[in-house]
Amino acid sequence: MCSAAKRAPRHKLDLRCYLITASGTFDEVIATATQAARGGAGIIQVRSKPISARDLFELSRRLSRAVYEANPATHVVIDDRADVAAALMRAGENVHGVHVGQDDLPATAVREFLGPDAIIGLTTGTLELVRAVEQVLDIVDYIGCGPFRATPTKDSGRAPIGLKGYPALVDASPVPLVAIGDVTAADAPALAAAGVDGVAVVRGFAHSDDPAAYAREILEAF
């Protein structure tokens, strides 16, 4: 199999440790994100569904400020809602872009809306979807690819990829690829060896007594 030509990164992103926020009170979500950033998490995606646009805006505003104080190098992206991301970015908050799924606004429309400097991530999970990234190569900065295994936090409708499925997807992707879907820190070494650029974790961080140490454990796997 021929590897896809890799586009030079538009942004300097550390995707190794990628936290997606879980449900909980604002204070709980912010505390976990702040500690993960302190431990070196490179990306924090604010999801916390179900949540209104107004609450997502307020949570993201507070979280982004706390994360910046903990680690200015950590990037914050908003799940799905390009409008919320745009409002926060235009207000000068520490928000850098958005992560969209297959049923959200098309990546081309998101890029037009957010401008050239925004970070845009895209959810995939099959070889067909990964190959389709070639069509938006100049728009998308990285892809999330899953599920690694079945997860109770989100039903994508796609079959689990499993460890053996990632090398072919990494080989086909023209942009950095992050594994997602019930991934834990214990999975990170094997997934790193499979070639992924990072792992996205939800429940592992939410259930950890020490999110900073949990982040460091993931980083060490890469």
171 annotated as a binding-site residue: no
Rounded to an integer, what is the distance from CA 48 to the centroid of its chain?
Answer: 13
177-180 vs 75-79, strand pairing mode: unpaired
32 annotated as a binding-site residue: no
| Residue 43 host element (H or E) | strand 43-46
152 annotated as a binding-site residue: yes
153 annotated as a binding-site residue: yes
79 annotated as a binding-site residue: yes
46 annotated as a binding-site residue: yes
Distance CA 183, CA 126 (A): 17
Coil, helix or strand at residue 35:
helix
49 annotated as a binding-site residue: yes
80 annotated as a binding-site residue: yes
Other Cβ atoms less than 10 A from the Cβ of 46: the count is: 31
Distance CA 199, CA 219 (A): 10
Helical ranges in 123-197 per DSSP H: 127-132, 166-172, 188-193
64 annotated as a binding-site residue: no
174 annotated as a binding-site residue: no
Please, is 7 exposed, middle or buried when counting C-beta atoms within 10 Å of its C-beta (0-12, 13-18, 19+)? middle
Q: Per the structure block, which two tokens stand in for 180?
A: 């997602």
Distance CA 199, CA 8 (A): 20
47 annotated as a binding-site residue: yes
Residue 21 vs residues 11, 61, 203, 205, 213: alpha-carbon distances, Å? 22, 14, 8, 8, 17
Q: Which residues participate in the annotated binding site?
A: 45-49, 79-80, 104, 123, 151-154
Q: Which residues participate in the annotated binding site for Mg(2+)?
A: 80, 104
